[in-house]
Amino acid sequence: MNMKKIVFMVMVWVGVLTVQANGYTYLTFETTDGAKASVPVSSLTVSISGTKLTAGSQTFTLTNLSKMYFSNTDESSTTGIETVDRSQLDIDDNTEIYDLQGHKVSKEQMRRGVYIVKSKDRTYKMIVR
C-alpha cells in the first residue's frame, strides 16, 4: 500500500473517530504479527510522522498495522482468565461440558481434571479436584 493511501485512510479514521467512538472505551490496533494494543478513547490523540502513527502512548509503523477497531475492553492486557464464584456456576440440563480432548461428558462423568463448561451465559474452565 503506498504512503498517500495510508495517510488518507488514517485521516479518514481520525475524522470519524468522534462519531464512531460513542459508547466505546478503547481504540484497539492489531499489527500484522497479531499483537494488539488498546488506547483509551477518552484521552486519544492521533498523529502521523513519516511512516509512524502515534495514538496515545502507542506508536506503530503504518505498514505493520493490519486493522484497528473500537472495543469496550483493553485487549492488549486481557488474560482470558477470570474468577468464577460457585454461585455463578449454573450447570443444568442445557449446560455442555467438555474434557480437554473435546469429548462431551455429563456432570456424572466428571472426574478429577479440567473441563470446559458452556452455559447459556458464559463459557469457562472448571477444575475438579
For the chain, the domain total comes to 2
Predicted model pTM: 0.46
The distance in angstroms from the start CA to the end CA of the chain is: 54
Q: What is the DSSP letter of 26?
A: E
pLDDT given for residue 44 in this prediction = 78
How would residue 107 be classed by pLDDT, with cut points 50, 70 and 90?
Answer: confident
CA distances from 118 to 5, 42, 81, 88, 103 (A): 44, 35, 15, 12, 13
**Any domain includes 99:** yes
The chain-wide mean pLDDT, for the chain, equals: 78
Burial class (CB in 10 A: 0-12, 13-18, 19+), 37: buried
Same domain assignment for residues 10 and 63:
yes
Q: Which of 59-68, 96-105, 116-125 has the lowest mean pLDDT?
A: 116-125
Burial of 55 (0-12, 13-18, 19+ CB in 10 A): buried
pLDDT confidence of residue 79: 55
**Does residue 58 sit in the same domain as residue 97?**
no
Q: What is the pLDDT of residue 104?
A: 93
Are residue 48 and residue 106 in the same domain, yes or no? no
Q: Do 14 and 57 belong to one domain?
A: yes
Do 59 and 25 fall into the same domain?
yes
Last residue of a domain, one of 71, 99, 117: 71
Residues 49 and 109 in one domain: no
For cell 483509551, name the residue.
40
**DSSP H/E element including 28:** strand 26-31
Assess whether 63 and 90 both reside in one domain: no
Same structural domain for residues 7 and 67? yes
Domain with 95, as residue range(s), is 86-128
